[in-house]
């Protein structure tokens, strides 16, 4: 686990307010983000729209996105900011412009913060270094998806401990909680960010999937993370189960027998009822219904999948306030 001094050293290379990796956040910072999320959510729309009034935020998306892009954009607008979206289709990126030049162009046009999704792991670090602007990592290749891990954390805390307990956390907030993450762990930035964050708050994380999608050395397993290949056994130990899509855009060369995969790893109602009748069901989306998850489970009472989306809007509001040193982060260099 990273000590606070190391955390500060890592993040000081980039503009304060950047969120490039969950590994850069101390537990106290995660706690402050959750507190600001709850504070902003409780404001009236008029109060909320004063937080970033007059500020300019750019969304730079080199990969497809529905939830992440829309929630960052709506969050920025609800805080009063002006937003602009640049995507790889329909911009000079198609003509071969580099990430650096695109970033400098956005900065010259007045962008004060850039939200970046990119297929290359590490791209947000490059953009943050080259522009000096706060950059929010909205997913970089197979590396990280920090805002997703934070919204998953808020969803888990709300459902397991109640909304009032989701406003501050310690190293023990998830003690006694086992979270199983099942599916294409190898290619999942969501799995990586969650596996970095949740054990630091006391959770045990079980990774589940076939060897092709979950090699023995997956994610450089650290404390609090184990592999359990038998999904039913993992479920029986879990309070939370997070299902993942097979990332077909990153899976080149890997052959899978989908019927076998469905048989062993699909979360369906028989399996849920038999092994984890109380467990909370999460999925970052997009879901491939009928493959990793059945309709009944996705739409069932144990599913918090739509809540995750709503928490995404709330968490991203706080991350934008933090990026631009507004709200409770005013004047702080975190
Ligand atoms: C995920 C992503 O893009 O990493 N989606 C998301 O942001 N909610 C997961 C995925 O694409 O399967």
**CATH code of residue 91:** 3.40.50.1370
200 HSE (CA, 13 A, CB side): 23
| Tokens 């954390």, residue located | 153
* The pLDDT of residue 2: 41
* The pLDDT of residue 333: 53
130 contacts 73 by C-beta, under 8 angstroms: no
Q: If we measure between CA atoms, which residue out of 174, 318, 166, 182 comes closest to residue 241? A: 182
Q: If we measure between CA atoms, which residue out of 126, 128, 138, 144 comes closest to residue 65? A: 138
Q: Is 148 in the pocket of ligand 1 (CB under 6 A)?
A: yes
Same domain? 137 vs 165? no
The order of strands in the sheet holding 225-227 is: 225-227, 204-208, 178-182, 240-243, 280-282
Same domain? 119 vs 208? no
Q: Is 145 in the pocket of ligand 1 (CB under 6 A)?
A: yes
Positions of the chain with pLDDT lower than 70, given as ranges: 1-12, 219, 332-334
Same domain? 187 vs 137? no
Mean pLDDT taken over the chain: 94
The answer to the question of residue 317 being in a domain is: yes
Query: Which two structure tokens, joined as six digits, stand for 252?
Result: 């080149």
Same domain? 270 vs 157? yes
The answer to the question of residue 108 being in a domain is: yes
The answer to the question of residue 8 being in a domain is: no
Q: How many domains does the chain have?
A: 2
Same domain? 294 vs 322? no
- Alpha-carbon span 169 to 32, nearest angstrom: 9
- In this structure, are strands 82-87 and 56-61 parallel, antiparallel, or unpaired? parallel
Same domain? 59 vs 164? no
The answer to the question of residue 123 being in a domain is: yes
Domain span holding position 55: 13-145+311-327
Q: Is 117 in the pocket of ligand 1 (CB under 6 A)?
A: no
Q: Is 156 in the pocket of ligand 1 (CB under 6 A)?
A: no
- Alpha-carbon span 99 to 199, nearest angstrom: 33
Q: Which long-range contacts (CB under 8 A, 24 or more apart) does 84-91 make?
A: 84/56, 84/57, 84/58, 84/59, 84/109, 84/111, 85/58, 85/59, 85/61, 86/58, 86/59, 86/60, 86/61, 87/60, 87/61, 87/62, 88/61, 88/62, 88/63
Q: Is 16 in the pocket of ligand 1 (CB under 6 A)?
A: no
Which atom of ligand 1 is nearest the CA belonging to 284? 8
184 contacts 244 by C-beta, under 8 angstroms: yes
pTM: 0.95
Same domain? 252 vs 166? yes
263 contacts 294 by C-beta, under 8 angstroms: no
Same domain? 295 vs 159? yes
Same domain? 136 vs 167? no
- As a whole number of angstroms, the longest Cα–Cα distance in the chain is 58
Same domain? 135 vs 172? no
Which atom of ligand 1 is nearest the CA belonging to 145? 4
**Cα 5 to middle of ligand 1, angstroms:** 31
**Eight-class DSSP state of 219:** G
**Eight-class DSSP state of 287:** -
Same domain? 131 vs 165? no
**Cα 255 to middle of ligand 1, angstroms:** 21
- Alpha-carbon span 192 to 22, nearest angstrom: 10
The answer to the question of residue 239 being in a domain is: yes
The answer to the question of residue 5 being in a domain is: no
Please list the alpha-helical segments (H only) found in the chain. Answer: 4-11, 27-42, 45-48, 67-78, 99-108, 123-131, 146-161, 189-197, 231-236, 258-265, 269-275, 295-298, 305-323
* The pLDDT of residue 1: 37
Same domain? 247 vs 318? no
């Amino acid at each position: 686990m990273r000590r606070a001094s190391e955390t500060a050293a890592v993040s000081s290379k980039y503009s304060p307010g950047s969120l490039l990796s969950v590994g850069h956040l101390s537990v106290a910072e995660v706690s402050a983000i959750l507190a600001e999320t709850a504070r902003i959510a409780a404001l009236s729309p008029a109060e909320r729209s004063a937080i970033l009034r007059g500020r300019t935020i750019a969304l730079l998306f080199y990969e497809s996105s529905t939830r992440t892009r829309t929630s960052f954009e709506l969050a920025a607008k609800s805080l009063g900011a002006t937003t602009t979206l640049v995507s790889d289709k329909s911009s000079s990126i198609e003509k071969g412009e580099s990430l650096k030049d695109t970033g400098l162009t956005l900065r010259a046009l007045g962008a004060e913060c850039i939200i970046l999704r990119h297929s290359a792991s590490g791209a947000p670090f490059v953009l943050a270094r080259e522009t000096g602007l706060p950059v929010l990592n909205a997913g970089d290749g197979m590396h990280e998806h920090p805002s997703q891990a934070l919204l998953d954390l808020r969803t888990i805390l709300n459902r397991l401990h109640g909304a009032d307990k989701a406003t501050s956390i310690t190293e023990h907030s998830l003690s006694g909680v086992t979270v199983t993450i099942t599916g294409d762990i190898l290619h999942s930035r969501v799995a990586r960010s969650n596996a970095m964050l949740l054990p630091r708050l006391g959770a045990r994380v079980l990774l589940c999937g076939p060897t092709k999608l979950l090699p023995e050395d997956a994610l450089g397993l650290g404390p609090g993370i184990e592999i359990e290949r038998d999904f039913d056994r993992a479920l029986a130990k879990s309070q939370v189960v997070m299902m993942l899509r097979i990332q077909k855009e990153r899976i080149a060369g890997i052959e899978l027998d989908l019927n076998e995969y469905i048989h062993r790893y699909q979360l369906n109602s028989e399996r849920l009822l038999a092994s984890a009748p109380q467990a909370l069901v999460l999925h970052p989306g997009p879901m491939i219904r009928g493959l990793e998850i059945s309709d009944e489970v996705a739409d069932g009472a144990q599913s918090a999948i739509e809540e995750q989306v709503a928490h995404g809007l709330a968490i991203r509001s706080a991350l934008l306030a933090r990026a631009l040193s507004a709200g409770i982060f005013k004047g702080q260099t975190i």
